[in-house]
Structure 1
Amino acid sequence: MMKFTKKMALILAMIMVLGTAMVGCSSEEKKVEEKVEEPAQSAMVVDETKVSEVEKGVNAYFANMPEHIYKINQKEFIEKVNAGEDMFILDIRTAEDYAAGHVKGAYNAPWGTAISDSLSKIPSDVPVYVYCYSGQTAGQTVMTLNLAGFNARSVNLGWNFGISKVEGYESVSVTDANEFGEDVTEINAEVQTALDAYYAGLADVKETTFKNYKVSEDNLKAMIDNKDDFYLLSIRSAEDFANGHIDGAENIPWGAGMEQSFSNLPKDKTIVVYCYSGQTAGQTVAGLRLLGYDAVSLNGGVGVGSNAPLGWANKGYELVK
């Protein structure tokens, strides 16, 4: 048996002390790490669950989409005007075109900041009907009006391709102007700020390819041919997408719940959205832009025939399967 010397006892004691110190250090480091990590995790959860009034409103707009999809048929609209139904009509064409002839009872807020400036002067207790030239910018306007608390719908295909094509529309076409009165509706301050910025932003794109938050059919074709880095989104039905779509497009079918797919879209690219004639794409673009995406819509959509010569197919560009 090996003799246990004082020297060996001393070495053993040193080893035990070092071991205890190492365990203590490891334990203390773990406590420090836990103390640092816990507040960070808690703060991150709070940030992720914070949702602005604008974001909640945009998501609700698509989640609660009604059967009429925020539009009204042009003939039905004229019938309501003739019947004298209680409503508010907003013409967002230029002041010159409004003066030349507009729907009886319509108020004029030309496309741009005049719309956001007039929000508080629009009554919220009656339906609001909006029309432009082809329905596309009215689609954007309708989305923003609903966000502000109005029950708003756009007139299908606007003045040029919808209203003026209805037999007997002349009976409701007048030239006398209507002037906005005093404030009658209180607009949520956060929403008002967001919509002020939305319409003011039109000035930034006025002289660009994306004027009016839109892109022309020819410019989109050039973007595709030049292999520009952008994201192309079709919101037509899955069936119509399968039967023919613009080359390179992805599909999120238009309808209630489509907002659940927005998080899959890129925020570092321009998103070009197209539908059939431009109206639902206009609604989608407004919602996406208010959520922070750089979105624009294709002028005239795919082209539904009735809006010729606007639209991709009406310009002679192909669809692929």
Structure 2
Amino acid sequence: MRWKGRRESNQVEDLRGNSGSGLGGGVGPLALMGIFSRLGIKGTIVVVILGLIVWKVFGINPLAMLGGQPATQQVSQPYQESAEDAQTRQMVSVILADTEDTWQQIFASAGKQYQKPTLVLFRNGVQSGCGAAQSAMGPFYCPADQKVYIDLSFFQQMRQQMGISGDQQNSTETANTNQAGDFAEAYVIAHEVGHHVQNLLGISSQVQQARQQASETQGNALSVRQELQADCYAGVWAHHNQQRTQFLQAGDVEEAMDAAHKIGDDYLQKQARGYVVPDSFTHGTSQQRARWFNTGLNTGDLNQCDTFNTQQL
């Protein structure tokens, strides 16, 4: 994938130098008792009900709204990154800039204004607008603060899973080319930005409301359709970005398809358990994820990404 020499986004927030996990506890038990004693029984009931609504609808930890201080003090200092980390950071920043330029054009053509998300780099753990998160969760988008969160070590794990060694990375590098597997990494960023697009279009809130009235199985099915649409939006980005920058090279699309295959629910469950439970799927099968990314890539049309009104996923 060709990415060097293009604009880097100024919407990257680097928290990798923070000491502590950012997973501090907010309001402690004694503080809560003091707050509730002042509110009284009726006031406490109202606060609890409102907190549950906020938690269910927006995914925000209600305790964060009570103004507590993190249990672990965050001390920020420059992060001493390796050459590989620096190159990955630069690539991620360029891809984010590419999504900004592409989605701004798409939104403008529809008479709308695109609002850029922020991409947060962290290590181990982070406190987001949707609550505390750990690296093990993988990259995620938080609609409450309109930020994409990622620990770049996820990409190292993904390269290992895809069978890409350090030698392969270095042997494919030229003046205009990053390492093997880079378009798969770009696909991950574009997928999370796809969730941001869903948020701006009001799709995320509609799905969340529908899930409140659904069973667990029905809620999982809605989540699958939302994730597959984000895959399709990632393909739409790649389609238009290719027209703008001619950034794709031979083998790039195959890399993305391999990544989609290895993060499908059926593949992951089969690897972990030896069998699959379709009713528990939340992101879609390997085949579905590859199919919807390809739909966006081949058409470049958002209207072809309507995963909610199709019988065939």
Higher Rg of the two aligned structures: 1
More strand by share: 1
TM-score (norm: length of structure 1): 0.22
More helix by share: 2
